[in-house]
Every structure is written in C-alpha cells, then in structure tokens.
Structure 1
Amino acid sequence: MHWRLGTTGYYNEGWRGPFFPPALPKSKWLGHYATQFDTIEMNNTFHRAPDEVRVRRWSEQVPDSFRFCVKAWRGITHDAPLSEARRSTELFLEPLRSFEHKLGIVLFQLPPDCGINQFAALEVLLGSLPTDIRFAIEFRNATWFCSEVDQLLSSHRVARVAAELERHPESKDATPTADFVYARLLGRHGRFQSDDHELFDPTPLLRQWHARLATATLGQSETAWVFINNDLAGHAPATLRRFADIAGVELPQHRPPETVVKQGKLFDM
C-alpha cells in the first residue's frame, strides 16, 4: 500500500520558524513544503475557486511527484442546493485540469444540515462527474452512513472520507468505497490558540488511525491519502511526521531553520 501524507493547507503564520525558514518569503512557502511532503489539501479553494493562472502558479512550484488535493468551492456544497451543483462543479473543475498529472483528489464536503434526504441530488451529481478525475466526499450528517450510500459511492468510485471530528464520531468509519482511502484528521476547529508546536503527544490516536486505515485498505485499496491539520495536536507538520513513523514512511529529514546570531562588538567604543 502506498501512503500519501500531507497537511490541510500550509499558509500558517505559526509555522514560520519551526517549519518554514524565518526569512523565507511566503511566495516560496509552497515550494519549501513540497520538499518535506508529497501532497497537500488545498483548503483555500473552499472559499475562493481558483482560476487557471493560479493553478498553474501552484503547479510550477512543486516537483512532478507532488499531488494537489483540492477542496471544492463552498458555492457548490454550502451556498446553493445540492440539486444545483452540477453546473457549478463543471465550472470549478475546468481550471483544475491545468494541474494535469499533479491533480490528486477533489474533495466535496457536505454541511451538517445536508442529510440523506438529498440522496437523489447526490446521485445526479455523482453521475455527472468526469471519470478521469478522482473524487472523495465528506459527510457531516450521520444519516449518510449506511449501505445504500456506500453502494452509490462505490458505483461511481468515489471515496467516503474517514475523519477525526469531535462532533461527528460516525466519521471514523473507514469503509472503502473506491480504490483509495481518504482520511482527514482534524480534531476540533479552533481548539488551540497557537500552531507553532504540538501541545500534547497524539501518538496513541495516530496508532488507532493507522490500524483503522491499514485494515480498510487491505486488499481493497491501493493508496491511502492522510491529511492532518493544526487542530489535531497543535502543529500539523510535526504530527504528520509522527504518523509517517508509525506507517513506516520515510520522509525527507527536516532540519530546523537556522538561527541567525548577531555577533557583538569585541570592544565597546
């Protein structure tokens, strides 16, 4: 099984110093990130759909082996009825094709007030999706977790997201519905005031998730995509490295940014 490990976004000011070199311009943060991990979940696309120029700019900053997972624009999933999502999805996907082979998974996240009563609308949306792009969907309403929905997702090779969400324990279910699994270890949004270091050791939780995903993928899925954010333990890059160690994934050695020491004068004048 192949593991793809990344964080949910990278534009975190608290990462300057412990992860990003202090003097590195933000315009080069993505390139630096890509020297440490081989995938990322772009969450800013949820708030603003990217155009082709921006997609190409992102793509040019990373190596060929890197993969972008992209969270679908909220105008598709949150700001309009799911029954109207088909056309807006087509428009959203068009510029993403500029990623070419660097496009990994497109993630749909449905809001908590969207339940299985929207099954027919979801069926129409999934039936309209292009087959040359892979998709995952995250449910935040417990009514979606049933065999009928899993069968629908499997028929379209769409992965049901397994997630660590405090208010949605049912999301831990990692039943595979595609030839890959997609996990988001998120915790509780806004639980920490800082994001520059881990605030506790999440190893026991990470071991649980590794076992859950390894079991889910055994003989059924080829790749496990795992994304971690700051809300899980305080500092996503460090937590992701913990998970990599558990999974036996070798990551590039991270060297703490060098501290610039100003040499004082030998004599006071």
Structure 2
Amino acid sequence: MRLHVGCAMWTHRSWQGRLLPHPLPAQERLRHYAGWCDAVEGNTTFYATPSRDTSASWAAQTDPDFRFVVKLPKVVTHERRLTEVNVPMRAFLDAVEPLGPRVHALWVQLPGSFGPADVPTLGRFLRRLSGTHRCAVEVRHPAFFTDPGSARELETTLAAVDAEWIPFDTTAFFTDPPTSDAERDAWTKKPRLPLRTVALTDRPIVRYLGRDDPERTIAGWQRWLDITVDWLREGRSPTVFIHTPDNADAPTLARRFHDEVRARVPGLAPLPEPIPVAPTTLF
C-alpha cells in the first residue's frame, strides 16, 4: 500500500528560487523535484523519444521507488493510432529501459477521435505489451463516458491485460469561468468530460486539474481525498497527479494532498523532505 503524488513536469519557471534552487543545472532539476514529489508525468516523451543516456540520467537523479508515468510518442498514439508502430515502439521501449522499475506505467493517451470502434485496435496493441510492460490508458472520446456499452467494452479490454483507465478530472476547473490568463488558456485546451472514479487495477492513476487559487484546488479535490483513502484501505496503491492552470504551486499542493490522505491513513509512508533552497546572497 503506497500513495505516489506528483505534477505534470519536474521543472517550472515559477518554482525557481522559491521551491527549487536557481540557477540549477539541467541534470540536477529532477533530483530537486524528487525531494518534493515521488512521481511525475512524462509528458515530454510524447513529443520526442529521449536517448538512453537521458533516461539513465533521470534514473540517477531519483530513488528506486520514484515513479514515472511515461507518455507514448504521438507518432504511436495520434499519428498512426496504434497501428504499424513496431519501429517507434521498439525505439521508445529501448530508450526508457534504463529507468527500470521506476516506469510505473506506459501512458497511452489517445486522441478525442479514438472512439468505441477503435477499441479492438487498442486491445491488440495492449496484448503485445502485456507480458512485459504495464499500461494505463487515457481516452477522450465522449462516448466512453456517456454510453454504458462503450464504457463496458473498454473496461473489459483493459481488464484483460491488467491495464488501468486514467481519468483526467477537469470538473472542478470547469465549474466557474476562468479568472486568469492561465485559466483562460486552459479553458480552450483541456478536455471537458464527465467525472470517472472507478479503478480497474490495484494501481489506479488520477490526473486532477484544479484552479490557480490553491484553496479552490483543495476544495475541488475532496472527492479524490475520500476515494484515495478508500483505495488505500482496499490495498490499492494509487498515484495522483495535481495540476493547476499555471502550476505555480503544484508541488506544494501535491504534498498537501498526500498529507491530507496520510492524516486519515496513518500507516502511509511519508514523502521525502525537500532539499533546502539556499537563501540568495550578495557575495
């Protein structure tokens, strides 16, 4: 039983000098982030497959129990839609191999056009990975959330290979109109889908989007607090990623979420202590 928490990235301009030292060499940024959180979304791998040396550097900067949820390249999920992807998948799996057990799941984020008719394709793709890699799938086609038959078919396909369904909860974000530039930008880009709170495996993964106001973010995650506590008591080990439109306070909010869960599940292991940020000096 373990709760991992994290953010959408491990470096952000607004964290520099406040949460993380500044300046900080690129090869040290993940190490300092890992003092705040014990998981991270691997969004960068969607745009470019890293080199093995880069993955080895990520491994060297993190403890063995740190977890990456690494997103498959867009050529696999969005351009080729999981067909004829042997070459890019081999390159990707070879590239992330140095991370070893730190790879919590391969994150299969599918485009909104990938609908119920495409589920057999998803099933074939997942079966090829099921013997060696754990997968977690994020779908954005509305039918999976509004049509019970489509949802059941997807759940059956995922359960057959012990794959998880990742919900991206934006319901709290879309409750009220945006009030900042970052919120206005997110308003046009983030998916607006019904809430889903069902776990299929013993390691559920949740992506939660709050608001730029930390108190509103905290108020919006209360349902996930209850669900996460229940999952832990059932023996599951969830991973929860906390997003806000500007992500300025995402690491502190992720720790706050972990603290609130741990207050209700005292046996939960604590997070690591952040590496201190040295005060700025003139000399």
Name the counterpart of 2:252: 238
Correspondence 1:24 to 2:24:
yes
CA distance in structure 2 between the partners assigned to 1:136 and 1:46 by the alignment: 14
Per-residue Cα deviation, 1:136-167 (whole angstroms, up to 9, x for no partner): 01111122241121111111100000221254
Cα distance change, pair 132–256 in 1 and its aligned pair in 2 (3 A): same
Name the counterpart of 2:128: 128
Contact 1:38 1:67 in 2 (8 A): yes
Correspondence 1:257 to 2:277:
yes
Correspondence 1:223 to 2:237:
yes
CA distance in structure 1 between the partners assigned to 2:196 and 2:233 by the alignment: 15
Name the counterpart of 1:202: 217
Aligned length: 253
Of residues 47-56 and 199-208 in structure 1, the stretch that sits farther from structure 2 once superposed is: 199-208
Please say which structure displays the higher CA radius of gyration. Answer: 1
Of residues 24-33 and 70-79 in structure 1, the stretch that sits farther from structure 2 once superposed is: 24-33
- Report the Cα offset of residue 200 of structure 1: 4.3
**Which stretches of structure 1, 4 residues or longer, exceed 6 Å deviation after superposition?**
none
CA distance in structure 2 between the partners assigned to 1:262 and 1:233 by the alignment: 29
Cα distance change, pair 88–130 in 1 and its aligned pair in 2 (3 A): farther
- Output aligned runs, 1:1-269, within 5 Å: 1-85=1-85, 87-145=87-145, 146-165=151-170, 166=174, 167-170=191-194, 172-187=195-210, 200-215=215-230, 219=234, 222-231=236-245, 234-248=248-262, 250-254=270-274, 257-262=277-282
Of residues 227-236 and 118-127 in structure 1, the stretch that sits farther from structure 2 once superposed is: 227-236
- Report the Cα offset of residue 201 of structure 1: 4.1
CA distance in structure 2 between the partners assigned to 1:117 and 1:3 by the alignment: 35
- Report the Cα offset of residue 22 of structure 1: 2.2
Name the counterpart of 1:195: none
Q: Which runs of 5+ in 1 are unaligned?
A: 193-197, 264-269
Contact 2:36 2:255 in 1 (8 A): no
TM-score (norm 2): 0.80
Q: Which runs of 5+ in 2 are unaligned?
A: 146-150, 175-190, 263-267
Between the aligned residues of both structures, percent identity stands at 25
Name the counterpart of 1:266: none
TM-score (norm 1): 0.84
Cα distance change, pair 67–216 in 1 and its aligned pair in 2 (3 A): closer
- Larger % of strand: which? 1
